[in-house]
Structure formats: structure tokens, C-alpha cells
Chain A
């Protein structure tokens, strides 16, 4: 299973764009890249998922370079409520595909 590396923490201010980069040098051909958000005492919440290039949904964008050895989660115009831990995971997407969590990035958004 691919190991991921993220910054331990990041600080931002309300209204700014936040980019969190994740390294996954050993990503396998069948692996997808998925990002989750976790608030204290809650289960992780799915944010976005991609395989290659760029993916965008209503809350975030995910940029994946051609070699897929890294990915960047982009959160546009963050608010205080975006303060959370963000996890980048790589793994297969079939029902039996388990995901191993890395340390995550603790994002703090300040007013």
C-alpha cells in the first residue's frame, strides 16, 4: 500500500485559498487518490477523489500531475469551519480495497 506524506500542519486566514500537497511516490497503477476531512470526534468525511489530471467538485479541486506521485487539494476561500484535519489516501477502489491513513494535515483557519 502506498505511503503518503503531508505537512503536519498549516495555517490560513478566512477567504484565502489553501493548497495542501501530498506525496505518494509508490502509488500503484490501480490506486485512486482520495482526500478526507475530519472534525474532532467525527468520522472522516469524503471530500474529493481522482485518478489523474484535475478533478473539481462543489467544495474542492484536486490536482494530480502526470506521474501521479503527488497530489494537491485546493480549498477555495476557506472559512473558520474548514478548520479540520485533512487526510490524503491512496489505494484501490474496489469494495475490498483497504486504505491506510497517514498522519494528515491539521489546517487552522484564523479570522
Chain B
């Protein structure tokens, strides 16, 4: 079964508004979560690493003031796209690992399709 849950699965918003996407780890605590973005016909691009209780670490070229990440609890990270514009329309995916031994793979949520009109 799913171990990482995302909400909403899709959202449409008007240009200039902000949108919040939630990522929850189910039945385990995740001190770290990862946010990816995927444009059509392209691979996933890592945006940032979300750290519980501290600031997120952003990849080069990702605007931290544009994509606000809050990891307020050990099971929830949120990504807020602020002042969204049509070019922010994309598929946003979060991921986390279950803490167990050596080989714990990264599990992904089902993604959030954002459309900015």
C-alpha cells in the first residue's frame, strides 16, 4: 500500500494566487522529505529537500521565496507555490523513506497536477 500521500491530486488556480500542496508519510516518521517537479515528457527534477524543524535545502536554480516549504511535523511537509504563474504549471511529486536498516527505498506520492490559468 501507499506509504506517502499527497493532496490535492490536482488543482487549478488563477495567476497571482498561491497554492499549497501537502505531503504526508503514512505510518512512519520522516525527518526528511523531497520535492520534485516534472514537466510533460521530461524526467523528475529535484527542487528541494524538506527537513523537519529546520529550513529546506533548495537545489540550484529553485527560488526559495517562490516555493515555500514547511516541514512542521515528522509526518507532514507542505509546498506552497506563491504568486503562481502559468509557467509554474507542472506535476509536483513528493517522496520520503521509511526509516529501517540499510536499504530503505525512497517512496513517492502520486503527485499533484498544478494548472495556473
Contacts and interface: CB of A to CB of B under 8 A. Distances in A.
A61 interface: no
Given A43-B93, A104-B43, A99 B106 contact: yes
Give the size range of B's interface with the partner: 20 to 34
Interface string A77-99: 00000000001000001111111
Nearest to B42: A103
Q: How large is the interface on A (under 10, 10 to 19, 20 to 34, 35 or more residues)?
A: 20 to 34
Contacts, number: 64
Given A34-B105, A41-B111, A43-B111, A95 B44 contact: no
A98 B56 CA distance: 13
B103 A101 contact: no
Given A41-B113, A101-B45, A101-B46, A95 B108 contact: no
Interface stretch (A14-22, A44-52, A68-76): A44-52
Contacts of A102: 43
Interface of A: 32, 34, 36, 41-46, 49, 51, 87, 93-104
